[in-house]
Amino acid sequence: MNNKDLRKYSKIVVDGVEQAPSRSMLRAVGFEDSDFSKPQIGICSTWSMVTPCNMHIDKLAEHVNKGTDEAGGKGIIYNAITISDGISMGTEGMKYSLVSREVIADSVETVSGCMGHDAIIVIGGCDKNMPGLMMGLSRLNRPSLFVYGGTIQPGPNHTNIISVFEAVGGHAAGNVSDIELKQIEDTAIPGPGSCGGMYTANTMASAIEALGMSLPNSSAQDAISEEKIGDCLNSGDAIMHLIQNDIKPSDIMTRGAFDNAIKVTIALGGSTNAVLHLLAMAHTMGVELELDDFTRIGKQVPMLADLKPSGKYLMSELIKIGGIQPLMKTMLEVGMLDGSCLTVTGKTLEENLATVAPYPTEQDIIRPFDNPIKKDSHLVVLKGNLAPAGSVAKITGKEGLSFTGNARVFESEEDCLKGILDGTVVKEDVLVIRYEGPKGAPGMREMLSPTSAIMGKGLGEDVALITDGRFSGGSHGFVVGHVTPEAFDGGPIAIVETGDRISIDAESNTISLEVSDDEIKTRLKSWQKPDPRYTRGVLAKYAATVTSASEGAVTDKYI
């Protein structure tokens, strides 16, 4: 192997007499003479002590670096930011969450683009940093792969972060004592790793594996485990193979691969955020993918996984029976996946799955096709006079398939949460939270605090919630998000009044405001666009450039 021939970008930075200053600076960070002839691998770590999801990723990055060096490359670790949804949830700080996806994508593109990295390995462990990392490496389109930080272990009594949020609602209802709330708070998060159900982090890790951009089983390994260390070490050989064969993200992240990712997300009962992020990732990769494609694909795929938040089991329990690989093999065997799609192993999906063993016969985490939890997708795209450009609901069937009630309008998440906890919200209400969209918030906050409070107060089957914001992967109940156009853009959600009747039907895929067309036009005519909430800084820049949720809420479409 001639390593020098593999250096497509780094040789511009380090070769020749004129690049002596570059080499001199690199010597200070550990380069030796032999390293300059090796392909340079940018290793983007999202390590941070701001969240348990990422607190261990510095160690994983060192293992990735070791595997890369042993395989003949030269690893260079750098960091991208991360934030914590779980910690900022329900606060003004949560407005930075979706914004961080764009900042992370910009960071990967900026650092590896500037430094001439020949390939990129990214390591993510929380909701937004995973799609952000994928978007960044897609922009550069150099040999790349993704390593998942891994899932957290459950707390005592099968608890996790959603247990804490729902205990807050239970406390308000008088069903959870002060002592019980403190016990759950103290023990539900026992250590490193991403939130333990099929919430957004595990959803996106699974989708990225199904997309072909991580090594088999990367999505289904505990954060602290020998298997996760092995995943990191093996990334070195994998990235060198990708460099040697000039296999780039554009060769892997094809339309067929995105269809595979959507189908696996549906089978697992994944987060509504997957819709937003897969749309954004496809846009960045130049793949045509639209909101309506989720409806078309959703008719073909059943929901099979009995995983939290709506089900019984946690990701750590799915890991024990084999992760998502046996599920994908079964889906492939019935013709549901495109096995010809290339993956970061250099093999096709079908080749990767050839030797995968089936699930144990006694397990009941993943249902058989003839006994699904829901016969079609739980990710339902609803349209109607309340959401002309679409909205996204998470309907597993356990909540029912339709809901009609009286609107109770709130202008912010905080106001809604207060109304739930103080008893203002009652049965048959359709809670409307608006001005929480990508531009209006700005940043499209997740409504986990209100949805968890609804569950905790025992109203999960009695109220619905709609918003131009979005939901955490931990949210469940009769909830509809991503309503577009958003209120800030003058969408019909802006003119809903408390007491209006709203009808939601997941069978006809409709969401309707039961007000005459003339009345809607009259209200819209008198509506006035509010002033932006931010005029400086990253939130102002985001609001000025972001597209609607139906287009993935990306910030570079204007170019």
- pLDDT tens per residue across span 480-524: 999 999 999 999 999 999 999 999 999 999 999 999 999 999 999
- pLDDT tens per residue across span 319-338: 999 999 999 999 999 999 99
Say which residues have a Cβ less than 8 Å from residue 552's Cβ, sequence separation at least 6.
276, 277, 278, 279, 280, 281, 282, 283
Rounded to an integer, what distance in angstroms lies between the CA atom of residue 176 and that of residue 166? 10
At 4 the pLDDT is 56
Rounded to an integer, what distance in angstroms lies between the CA atom of residue 515 and that of residue 510? 15
In angstroms, the Cα distances linking 306 to 38, 59, 99, 127, 162 are 47, 32, 31, 21, 16
pTM recorded for the entire structure: 0.96
Rounded to an integer, what distance in angstroms lies between the CA atom of residue 242 and that of residue 441? 41
In percent, the amount of the chain with pLDDT more than 70 equals 99
Encoded tokens for 12: 């511009």
3-state helix, strand, coil in the chain (%, to 5): 45, 15, 40
Label residue 558 by pLDDT band (50, 70, 90).
low
- pLDDT tens per residue across span 521-556: 999 999 999 999 999 999 999 999 999 999 999 999
Label residue 111 by pLDDT band (50, 70, 90).
very high
At 398 the pLDDT is 75
- Model confidence at 87: pLDDT above 60: yes
Rounded to an integer, what distance in angstroms lies between the CA atom of residue 176 and that of residue 185? 12
At 1 the pLDDT is 43
Encoded tokens for 384: 């109607």
- Model confidence at 211: pLDDT above 80: yes
Q: Are 544 and 443 in contact (CB under 8 A)?
A: no
Rounded to an integer, what distance in angstroms lies between the CA atom of residue 345 and that of residue 547? 34
Rounded to an integer, what distance in angstroms lies between the CA atom of residue 145 and that of residue 249? 8
At 37 the pLDDT is 96
- Model confidence at 344: pLDDT above 70: yes
Rounded to an integer, what distance in angstroms lies between the CA atom of residue 121 and that of residue 202? 19
- Model confidence at 559: pLDDT above 60: no
Q: Of 200, 201, 217, 197, nearest to 209 (Cα)?
A: 217
Q: Virtual CA dihedral for 432, 168, 47, 79, nearest 10 degrees?
A: 30
Amino acid (1-letter code) at residue 221: Q
Distance from first CA to last CA of the chain, Å, rounded? 40
Label residue 379 by pLDDT band (50, 70, 90).
very high
Catalytic residue numbers, as ranges: 472
- pLDDT tens per residue across span 414-462: 999 999 999 999 999 999 999 999 999 999 999 989 998 998 899 989 9
Average pLDDT, the chain: 95
- Model confidence at 395: pLDDT above 80: yes
- Model confidence at 3: pLDDT above 50: no
Q: Which residues of 32-61 are buried (b: 16+ CB within 10 A; e: fewer)?
A: eeebbbbbbbbbbbbbbeebbbbbbbbbbb
- Out of 41-45, 158-162, 170-174, the most confident range is 41-45
Say which residues have a Cβ less than 8 Å from residue 166's Cβ, sequence separation at least 6.
452, 453, 455, 456
Environment class of 62 (CB within 10 Å of its CB; exposed 0-12, middle 13-18, buried 19+):
middle
Rounded to an integer, what distance in angstroms lies between the CA atom of residue 88 and that of residue 93? 5
Rounded to an integer, what distance in angstroms lies between the CA atom of residue 236 and that of residue 143? 12
